[in-house]
Amino acid sequence: MITKLDDLLELVKTKEKKRLVAAYANDSHTIGAVSAAIDKGIVDATLVGDIDTIKKVCAEEGIDPNKFELVQEADETKAGVKAVSLIREGKGNILMKGLLSTDKYMRAILNKETGLMPGKKNDMLTHMAVFEVPAYHKLLVCSDVAVMPAPDLKQKQTILTYLINTAKSLEIAKPKVAVLAATEQVSTGMQACVDAAIISKMGDRGQIKGAIVDGPLALDVAINAESAKTKKVGGEVAGDADCLLFPNIESGNVFYKACTKFAGAELACMVVGAKVPCILTSRGDSAKTKLYSIALAALNAK
C-alpha cells in the first residue's frame, strides 16, 4: 500500500508505459503537465490541437515539441472528437482534457456512436479523487465529487466498485470503505442513511467483493479514531477509512475544496466508466495535481 502521492509516480514506472492523448492541447497548463509526465517516464503522449500554437507555447515554456506526437486540428470541438477517435483506434490508453470546454470534452466521450462508453445498459461516468491530506495517515480515495449529482442506490453500488478498483490499483489489498451520511445512526428519514445501511449489509453478506464496507458513517467517525471511540462506533472502517463514498455531489465537492483550499491537500483525479481513464483537470489545479492525475490514469489504464 502506498501512502503518499509521490509513491504513485514511482509505482506507475513499474508498469507498462501507456500513451496519453490530450484533446485540444493548445495551452501551457496541459503541455507543461504532459511534458513533466514524459520526463518522468510515466507516459508517451499525443497532442491534438493547432500545431503552430503548440510549438509557440513550447518555445515560450522551454519545452522540446519533438517529445510529443502532434496531430493537427485547430477547431476546439473537432479536436475533442479527433482525440477520442485516436483512442478508439487503439492509438492511446488515456484521454486528457486540454483547452476545450468541459461540456465539449464530455460530449465527445459520451457520444453514443463515436464516443468512449462501453455500450452496456448501466454505463455511467464517475469521478475518482485520491487525496493526500496532511492531517490523515494515508491516502483517501473519494467519489463522487464532480460528475454524478445525486446517485441512487444502484449508481452508488457502481461507484463503490470503481472506488475499490482504484484503491486496489494503489496496492491497498482490502480497502476499507465508509459509506457517508450526516450521521452514523440509521435514520429512515434520511435517504443517505438508508442507502448506506443497505450497501453495508450487502458487504456483510459477501455481495461486495474485495473490500470492507461500513455505513452509514459520519465523516468524523470515518476518518478520526478518537471520534469513533467517543461515539462508540466499532468496526474495521471507523477511524481508518481508505475510501469515502459520498451521498451526493454537494457533500463530495465541498469536501474536495475544503481539503485542497483549507487543509493544503494534494490530489490526483480521473473520470472512470469510459473505455479508458479520462483526465479532467482545471486551470485552478496545481501542476502537481495534473502530474499526479496523469500517473493515476496511467496506473489504471489497460
Where are the chain's structural domains?
13-117+274-300, 126-261
**Residue 121 clears pLDDT 80, i.e. is over it:** no
**Superfamily (CATH H level) for 126-261:** Isopropylmalate Dehydrogenase (3.40.718.10)
pLDDT at 51: 98
In this prediction, residue 114 carries a pLDDT of: 95
Average confidence (pLDDT) over 240-247:
98
Instruction: Please say if the pLDDT value at position 42 is more than 80.
Output: yes
Percent pLDDT > 90 in the chain is 94
Q: 13-117+274-300: which CATH number, 3.40.640.10, 3.30.930.10, 3.30.70.2190, 3.40.50.10950?
A: 3.40.50.10950
- Mean pLDDT confidence for 175-192: 96
Supply the pLDDT for residue 105. Answer: 95
pLDDT digits (tens, 9 = 90+) for 144-166: 999 999 999 999 999 999 999 99
Give mean pLDDT, residues 116-135: 92
Overall average pLDDT of the 9-15 stretch: 94
54: exposed, middle or buried (Cβ count in 10 Å: 0-12, 13-18, 19+): buried
Q: Identify how many contiguous H helices and E strands the chain contains and give both numbers.
A: 11, 11
Dist. CA 123–CA 45, nearest whole Å: 27
Instruction: Round the average pLDDT of the chain to a whole number and report it.
Output: 95
* pLDDT given for residue 186 in this prediction: 92
In this prediction, residue 285 carries a pLDDT of 77
pLDDT at residue 283 in the model: 66
The average pLDDT across 236-263 equals: 96
Give yes or no for a contact between 127 and 145, defined as CB atoms under 8 angstroms apart.
yes
For residue 180, pLDDT over 80 is answered with: yes
In percent, the amount of the chain with pLDDT more than 70 equals: 99
Banded model confidence at residue 73, pLDDT cuts 50, 70, 90: very high
Q: What b-and-e string marks burial along 204-237, b requiring 16 or more CB atoms within 10 Å of the CB? A: eeeebeebbbbbbbbbbbbbbeebbeebebebeb
**pLDDT given at position 159:** 97
Q: How far apart are CA 244 and CA 146, in angstroms?
A: 14
Supply the pLDDT for residue 120: 81
